[in-house]
Amino acid sequence: MTKLTFLIIFICIPVISSSKQHSCTIIPPPLFIFGDSFFDPGNNNFINTSTLDRANFWPYGRTFFHRPTGRFSDGRLISDFIAGAGALPQTFQGLVIDLKTQLKYYKREIAELRRKKGSAQTARISSTAVYMFSIGTNDYISPFLLNSSVLATYPHSRYVDMVTGNLSTVVRAIYRRGGRKFMFLNLGELGCAPGLRILKPERQGGGCLEEASDLAKLHNKALNKLLSKMEQKLHGFKYFLYDFRTSLAQRITHPYKYGFREGKKACCGIGRFNGIFSCGGKRPVKEFNLCENPSEFVYWDSYHLTEKAYKQMADQMWIIPPTEPNSLRRLFTCY
């Protein structure tokens, strides 16, 4: 059985100033990263899946690593910068590692840590760790890409409840094993990804696919409510929620303001907006265009962002001071 390798990374963080209200000292927390291709450093390389769900071929990785690593970008991801998969089991079933399967691997990892380090040290690792989640994108775009009837079977609100319910189950399971500090991304305007824009008839102006974006809005509202409820009911539960939706929308709408030239079209792909998922020529459609300078683009391929976009977002997360209530840095300090 394929084993998902969690990133357990100890980080050195610059000294953070103290105040009368907050006395912050640095702790070196490990990171446990759960999620989809926005965070995946290449785990899909090791499962029996198709090239539609892999990025272990050129030109992926060309900007920073100068070789493919399995990351769905030209370089590093948000999780790479912070460190220095779908929530529903039926989402792309057999092609990606779903969230509950990732939980099984996490439990296995904790059991192995307990065997090697003992219960006390494992408890310390669990309680000081930061658990990073990027979940939901696959669940909401797969019905459009696979011509699935799931959105006709369930009301949209019910489908969103299924996705966030699975996320809640996993987070609570981690909490029961000592996890206390969590980071989440909300969902971007899914219908504005090049791969979904092309599903809207060209005669309608090539705008965003509203149904997909509306699902993301419902998800974000439900996620806000879920995390607020957990914070109230679970003692010691702390979280940081990054507004990925607003950040991405700003770069799509005003690319020049953020140092990009193109906010709607992908760097790598073919067709309108380079939205056909052909980057690298290893997928069903072999032809693809490749831009000369990925740093001029928000989108790297039909669904994923460039390293430059991810770095800007990671920097934006990290700049929020730990004294603010919604701060990533406060998860890396004790006070």
- Does the annotation count 304 as an active-site position? yes
Beta-carbon contacts of 249 under 8 Å, excluding residues fewer than 6 positions away, are 188, 189, 192
298 φ, ψ (degrees, to nearest 5): -75, -45
Residues in the chain: 335
**Quick check: 92 and 142 in contact, CB under 8 A?**
yes
Residue (of 85, 113, 112, 110) closest to 99 by Cα position: 85
Residue (of 116, 87, 113) closest to 100 by Cα position: 87
**Quick check: 76 and 310 in contact, CB under 8 A?**
yes
Query: Do strands 238-242 and 262-266 pair parallel, antiparallel, or not at all (unpaired)?
Result: unpaired
Looking up tokens 């090539």 gives 206
Task: Report which residue type is found at 111.
Answer: A
Q: Which of 37, 73, 247, 327 is catalytic?
A: 37
Q: Which of 79, 301, 302, 327 is catalytic?
A: 301
- Does the annotation count 37 as an active-site position? yes
Tell me: cis bond preceding 59? Omega within 30 of 0 counts: yes
How far is residue 75's CA from residue 103's CA, in Å, rounded to a whole number? 27
- Residues with a catalytic annotation lie at 37, 301, 304
